[in-house]
């Protein structure tokens, strides 16, 4: 069974850092591109970042570019999101999602984690 489990969320002060993880199991992790999507409280879905299967292609939303870094460890079946210089507007539930191919341009995201809450507040 395919499983994606996010962790690392919590309360952090503005300007602080947090590192999110997404542990994958039940499939060949290295064959699929992966994504982070967030949802602020009471708001819609917002794409954050995507990484291709071999990490050759990486994309960021303008809202996080220069502050967030996506990476993956295919040996450990793990997706990471390093978040620096956090702002109040980064407060959201962060989901990891698996695409259907190695290509990062696919928005066929059939598998999702349950999400982890990040709260940025003083």
Partner 1 sequence: QSVLTQPPSASGTPGQRVTISCSGSSSNIGSNYVYWYQQLPGTAPKLLIYRNNQRPSGVPDRFSGSKSGTSASLAISGLRSEDETDYYCATWDDSLSGPVFGGGTKLTVL
Residue numbers 3-32 binding partner 1 by CB under 8 A? none
For residue 55 the two structure tokens come to 């990490």
Decide: is 47 part of the binding site for partner 1 (CB under 8 A): yes
Decide: is 50 part of the binding site for partner 1 (CB under 8 A): yes
Strand 3-7 vs strand 58-60: parallel, antiparallel, or unpaired? unpaired
CA distance 107 to 48: 13
Part in contact with partner 1 (CB under 8 A); list of ranges 16-24, 37-45, 66-74, 76-84 = 37-45
If the CB atoms of residues 37 and 118 are measured against partner 1, the closer one turns out to be 37
Output the furthest CA–CA distance in the chain (Å, rounded). 40
Decide: is 108 part of the binding site for partner 1 (CB under 8 A): yes
> What are the Cα distances from residue 105, in Å, to 16, 91, 100?
31, 26, 10
For residue 90 the two structure tokens come to 């980064």
Decide: is 52 part of the binding site for partner 1 (CB under 8 A): no
Residues that bind partner 1 (CB under 8 A): 35, 37, 44-47, 50, 59-62, 95, 97, 100, 105-110, 112-115
């Amino acid at each position: 069974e395919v499983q994606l489990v996010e962790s690392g969320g919590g309360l952090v002060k503005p300007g602080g850092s947090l590192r999110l993880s997404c542990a994958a199991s039940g499939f060949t992790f290295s064959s699929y591109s992966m994504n982070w999507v967030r949802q602020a409280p009471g708001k819609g879905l917002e794409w954050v970042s995507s990484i291709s299967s071999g990490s050759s292609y990486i994309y960021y939303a303008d809202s996080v570019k220069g502050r967030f870094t996506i990476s993956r460890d295919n040996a450990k079946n793990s997706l990471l999101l390093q978040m620096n210089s956090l702002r109040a507007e980064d407060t959201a539930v962060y989901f990891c999602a698996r695409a259907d191919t190695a290509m990062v341009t696919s928005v066929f995201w059939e598998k999702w984690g349950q999400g982890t809450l990040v709260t940025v507040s003083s």
